[in-house]
């Protein structure tokens, strides 16, 4: 007996049946519910006009995260609470502080982007009420505005915290003992979500299409084995575009998001084991603990809403040559654990990629986890993404350098590169040029020349082949400038950081 999709919409329970599972949340909100406050701009996760906030049971209270409704598939909301701009008005009818702040600070002109900005700010208001300027910038990295120039919106992000909140969706507070306090509305939502919980997962069918969302990894393994031709879908930040841009029918869909054990991030003897269904946001936070040098690269990966929906397993399995996590994971010697039925196998991540968009995944097999070994002593680690824009852009080139130094020499070197080959690749010749050499300007220069010539990249709209080669060589030189004897400051904002944090 097919089950309906159940979730909370602006605090009210809804059940959906008969709708094709590849329907996006945006289409459903606008076409089926006539909630047209949520806009469609790009329909590919880039502009943020469609941003809504999704809350789910978290540690203390709820986790509130912005997501792009345009590429989020409707059944993936099962058991969650969705908030749209229509739901923010407070019980007394007044505007929510986020909305009021946008009005007071003139944060809206034509208004098309405004609901999306309001929802991104609402997500921040609920999750990080004392956000720093850098956190505000990051929270808004997925929202584009053609009119305001952003300054009034940033002012609203400041102002929203000064306005009183009536009963409604208040910011969390802190009790005298430092614990997080939550408002009664949030508590009520948490209780309602408890009642919607479906430990066995969801088996849904609508308009002749099936959505299987197994409740744990074992059940997922059984479903993948039973339906080897089904499309696996995690956060749909790649798959969603197959629907909205390529208008593809996806057939039976197997969703990884209900298997909570597949989202676990654990510290094991082998290292940090990141479940394939862990969100990019959670995976990057865990990697930040062990490898803080990578923080900036993760901050530049898409935008906050994409990192909230997208998963590390999806990035790795998608295998795009311009994917950003893989070059870094390859440099960190990560391994990928694949599972088919009860059989598991482990591969070095670089061996997972066979050719352009071709991976070692067999029929019925899926990515179960990614394991990153513990860091060694004296690791010199840097990763740089080169793209036309700082935020929310695709890499023209990406390089991650992991040099194990010992006694002034390079004991071992691993370099992962993206955007320069048909697959995420290791720069083995350059690694060999570094291996065992004194860590010096001369060695770095030889390695830079080797790296510039190591790959045969292509010309495309993001960069020419010549630029890509040259930029890789220059990143090697930068590694020496930042991590060699001189420790040069290579960026203007680095110089400013020592005096006044951004
Ligand atoms: C606006 C925008 C910006 C982006 N920016 C970046 C960026 O800066 N850097 C970057 O690298 N990527 C970027 N991406 C791409 C995308 O966000 C990532 O690739 C993301 O990690 C995909 O994860 P997902 O969970 O959404 O995967 P999905 O879209 O659900 O799936 C992607 C692919 O992986 C397969 N898959 C998913 N999980 C598994 C599994 N466990 N086992 C086997 N197969 C699986 C699916 O079948 C599909 O082929 C961007 C995307 C958008 C829309
Ligand atoms: S419509 Fe542009 S991000 Fe969704
Ligand atoms: S107010 Fe016009 S696009 Fe932002």
The answer to the question of residue 457 being in a domain is yes
Cβ within 8 Å of residue 178, ≥6 positions away = none
Q: Which two tokens stand for residue 21?
A: 């599972």
What dihedral angle (degrees, nearest 10) is formed by the CA atoms of 485, 491, 495, 498?
-80
Question: Most distant CA pair in the chain: distance in Å?
Answer: 70
Shared domain for 101 and 121, answered yes or no, is yes
Closest ligand to Cα 318: 1
Q: Can you give the pLDDT at residue 182?
A: 72
Residue 338's contacts (CB-CB under 8 Å, 6 or more residues apart) are 344, 345, 346, 347, 360, 361, 362, 365, 366, 367, 368
pLDDT at residue 357 is higher than 60: yes
Minimal CA–CA distance to 79: which of 259, 346, 237?
259
Query: pLDDT value at position 129?
Result: 79
Asked if the structure places residue 441 within a domain, the reply is yes
- Tell how far CA 344 is from the center of its chain: 26
**Stretch 227-235: mean pLDDT:** 98
Rounded distance, CA 129 to CA 152, Å? 19
pLDDT at 404: 97
Query: Of residues 220 and 178, which shows the higher confidence score?
Result: 220
Q: Are residues 17 and 121 in the same domain?
A: yes
**Residues ≥6 apart with Cβ < 8 Å to 214:** 201, 220, 222, 223, 254, 258, 259
Q: Is the CB of 364 under 6 A from ligand 1?
A: no
Q: Which of 22-31, 158-167, 199-208 has the lowest mean pLDDT?
A: 158-167
Task: Give the count of beta carbons closer than 10 Å to the beta carbon of residue 159.
Answer: 19
Is pLDDT above 80 for 172?
no
Q: Which residues pair with 201 in a beta bridge?
A: 214
Q: Do 363 and 396 share a domain, yes or no?
A: no
Query: What's the whole-number mean pLDDT along residues 245-262?
Result: 97
Average pLDDT value over all residues in the chain: 93
> How far does CA 252 lie from the centroid of its chain?
25
> Span 272-295, mean pLDDT?
97
pLDDT bucket at 70, cuts 50 / 70 / 90: very high
Question: What pLDDT, on a 0 to 100 scale, did the predictor assign at position 166?
Answer: 66
CA of 315, closest atom in ligand 1: 21
Residue 461 predicted with pLDDT over 50: yes
Asked whether residue 352 is assigned to any structural domain, the reply reads: yes
What dihedral angle (degrees, nearest 10) is formed by the CA atoms of 283, 363, 426, 381? 10
Residue 489 in domain: no
Residue 341 lies in a domain: yes
pLDDT at 495 over 70: no
Going by pLDDT thresholds of 50, 70 and 90, the confidence category of residue 250 is very high
pTM of the model: 0.95
Q: Say if residue 220 is in the same domain as residue 188.
A: no
**Residue 127 is assigned to a structural domain of this protein:** yes
Among 162-166, 232-236, 378-382, 489-493, the range scoring the smallest mean pLDDT is 489-493
The ligand minimizing its distance to the Cα of 366 is: 1
Question: What pLDDT sits at residue 1?
Answer: 63
User: If pLDDT is split at 50, 70 and 90, which confidence band does 90 have?
Assistant: confident
Tens of pLDDT, residues 409-432: 999 999 999 999 999 999 999 999
What pLDDT score was predicted for residue 130? 86
pLDDT(498) > 60: no
The 3-state DSSP class for residue 408 equals coil
Instruction: Say whether pLDDT at 174 is over 90.
Output: no
Give the pLDDT band of residue 501 (cuts 50, 70, 90).
very low
Residue 148 tokens read as: 């305001």
Q: Are residues 123 and 215 in the same domain?
A: no
Angle (deg, nearest 10), helices 114-127 and 97-104: 130
* Ligand 3 atom at minimum distance from 110 CA: 2
Q: Does position 307 have pLDDT exceeding 70, yes or no?
A: yes
**Using a 6 Å cutoff on CB, does residue 280 contact ligand 1?**
yes
For atom 13 of ligand 1, the residue with the nearest CA is 302
Q: What is the CATH number of the domain that holds 289?
A: 3.30.465.10
Binned at pLDDT 50, 70 and 90, residue 310 comes out as very high
Closest listed ligand to the CA of 115: 3
Give mean pLDDT, residues 346-359.
Answer: 97
| Mean pLDDT value of segment 365-390 | 96
Asked if residue 321 and residue 203 are part of one domain, the reply reads no
pLDDT for the residue numbered 497? 45
Ligand nearest to the CA of 110: 3
- Sheet with 51-57: strands ordered across: 12-16, 5-9, 81-83, 51-57, 62-68
- Split at pLDDT 50, 70, 90, the class of 178 is low
CATH value at residue 244 = 3.30.43.10
Residue-level pLDDT at 496: 45
User: Which of 324, 349, 372 is at the close of a domain?
Assistant: 372
Averaged over 352-373, what is the pLDDT?
98
32: which DSSP letter?
I
Residues 59 and 27 in one domain: yes
Q: Is there an atom of ligand 3 within 6 Å of 109 CB?
A: yes
Among 54-63, 142-151, 231-240, 369-378, which is the least confidently predicted range? 54-63
Are 272 and 403 in the same domain? no
With respect to residue 443, please indicate whether it lies within any of the assigned structural domains. yes
Closest ligand to C-alpha of residue 146 is 3
Q: By percentage, how much of the chain surpasses pLDDT 90?
A: 85
Which residue range forms the structural domain that includes residue 236? 199-255
| Residues 6 or more apart in contact with residue 4 via CB below 8 angstroms | 15, 16, 17, 204
Mean pLDDT (whole number) for 107-128 = 96
Which three-class secondary structure state does DSSP give residue 229?
coil
Q: How far does the centroid of ligand 1 lie from the alpha carbon of residue 256, in Å?
A: 13
Residue with the smallest CA separation from ligand 2 atom 3 is 45
- Is residue 494 one of the residues assigned to a domain? no
Q: Which of 132-141, 154-163, 487-496 is predicted least confidently?
A: 487-496
Asked which of 372, 396, 411 is the last residue of a domain, the reply is: 372
With the most atoms of ligand 3 within 8 angstroms of its CB, the residue from 42, 116, 145 to mutate is 145
| pLDDT score at 183 | 77
Let me know whether 245 and 157 are in one domain.
no
CATH number of the domain that residue 69 is part of: 3.10.20.30
Average pLDDT over residues 369-383: 96
Distance CA 158, CA 132 (A): 9
Q: Given the structure tokens 């070994």, which residue do they identify?
A: 373
The ligand 2 site (C-beta within 6 Å) comprises 40-43, 45-50, 68, 70
Domain co-membership, 85 together with 203: no
Other Cβ atoms less than 10 A from the Cβ of 484: the count is 16
Looking at the structure, tell me whether residues 136 and 61 fall in a common domain. yes
Rounded Cα distance, 200 and 209, in Å:
20
Q: Is 315 in the pocket of ligand 1 (CB under 6 A)?
A: yes
User: Given this model, what pLDDT does residue 212 score?
Assistant: 98
Give the pLDDT confidence score for residue 500 in this predicted structure: 37
Ligand 1 atom with the smallest distance to the CA of 277 is: 41
Whether 67 contacts 309, CB under 8 Å? yes
- pLDDT for 186 equals 85
Ligand 1 atom at shortest distance from the alpha carbon of 231: 47
Domain CATH for 408: 3.30.390.50
Ligand 1 center–CA 317 separation, angstroms: 8
Residue 79 and residue 132 share a domain = yes
The total number of structural domains in the chain stands at: 4
- CB of 310 shorter than 6 A to ligand 1: yes
């Amino acid at each position: 007996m097919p089950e309906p999709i159940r979730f909370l919409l602006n605090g009210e329970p809804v059940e959906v049946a008969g709708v094709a599972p590849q329907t996006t949340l945006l289409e459903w909100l606008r076409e089926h519910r006539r909630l047209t406050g949520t806009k469609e701009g790009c329909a590919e996760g880039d502009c943020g006009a469609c941003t809504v906030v999704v809350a789910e049971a978290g540690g203390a209270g709820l986790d509130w995260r912005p997501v792009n409704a345009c590429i989020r598939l409707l059944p993936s909301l099962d058991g969650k609470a969705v908030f749209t701009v229509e739901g923010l008005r407070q019980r007394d009818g007044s505007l929510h502080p986020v909305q009021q702040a946008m009005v007071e600070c003139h944060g809206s002109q034509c208004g098309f982007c405004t609901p999306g900005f309001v929802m991104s700010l609402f997500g921040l208001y609920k999750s990080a009420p004392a956000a720093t300027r850098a956190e505000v910038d990051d929270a808004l990295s997925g929202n584009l505005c053609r009119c305001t120039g952003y300054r009034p919106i940033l002012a609203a992000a400041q102002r929203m915290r000064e306005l009183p909140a009536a009963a409604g969706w208040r910011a969390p507070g802190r009790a005298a003992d430092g614990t997080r306090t939550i408002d009664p509305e949030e508590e009520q939502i948490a209780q309602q979500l408890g009642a919607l919980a479906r430990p066995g997962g969801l088996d849904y069918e609508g308009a002749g299409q099936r959505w299987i969302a197994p409740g744990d990894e074992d059940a997922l393994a059984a479903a993948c084995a039973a339906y080897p031709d089904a499309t696996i879908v995690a956060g749909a930040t790649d798959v969603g575009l197959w629907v909205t841009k390529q208008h593809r029918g996806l057939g039976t869909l197997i969703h990884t998001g209900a298997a909570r054990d597949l989202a676990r991030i654990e510290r094991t003897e082998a290292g940090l084991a990141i479940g394939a269904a862990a969100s990019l946001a959670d995976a990057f936070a865990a990697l930040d603990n062990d490898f803080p040098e990578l923080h900036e690269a993760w901050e530049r990966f898409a935008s906050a809403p994409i990192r909230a929906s997208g998963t590390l397993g999806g990035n790795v399995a998608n295998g795009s040559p311009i994917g950003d996590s893989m070059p870094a994971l390859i440099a960190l010697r990560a391994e990928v654990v694949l599972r088919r039925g009860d059989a598991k196998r482990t591969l070095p991540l670089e061996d997972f990629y066979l050719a352009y968009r071709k991976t070692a995944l067999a029929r019925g097999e899926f990515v179960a986890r990614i394991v990153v070994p513990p860091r060694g002593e004296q690791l010199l680690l840097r990763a740089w993404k080169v793209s036309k824009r700082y935020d929310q852009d695709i890499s023209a080139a990406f390089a991650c350098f992991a040099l194990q130094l010992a006694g002034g020499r390079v004991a071992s070197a691993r370099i992962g590169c993206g955007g320069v080959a048909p697959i995420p690749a290791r720069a083995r010749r350059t690694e060999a040029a570094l291996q065992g050499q004194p860590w010096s300007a001369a060695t770095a220069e030889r390695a830079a020349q080797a790296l510039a010539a190591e790959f045969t990249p292509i010309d495309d709209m993001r960069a020419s082949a010549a630029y890509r080669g040259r930029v890789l060589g220059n990143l090697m030189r930068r590694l020496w400038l930042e991590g060699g004897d001189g420790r040069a400051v290579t960026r203007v904002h680095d110089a400013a950081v020592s005096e006044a944090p951004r």
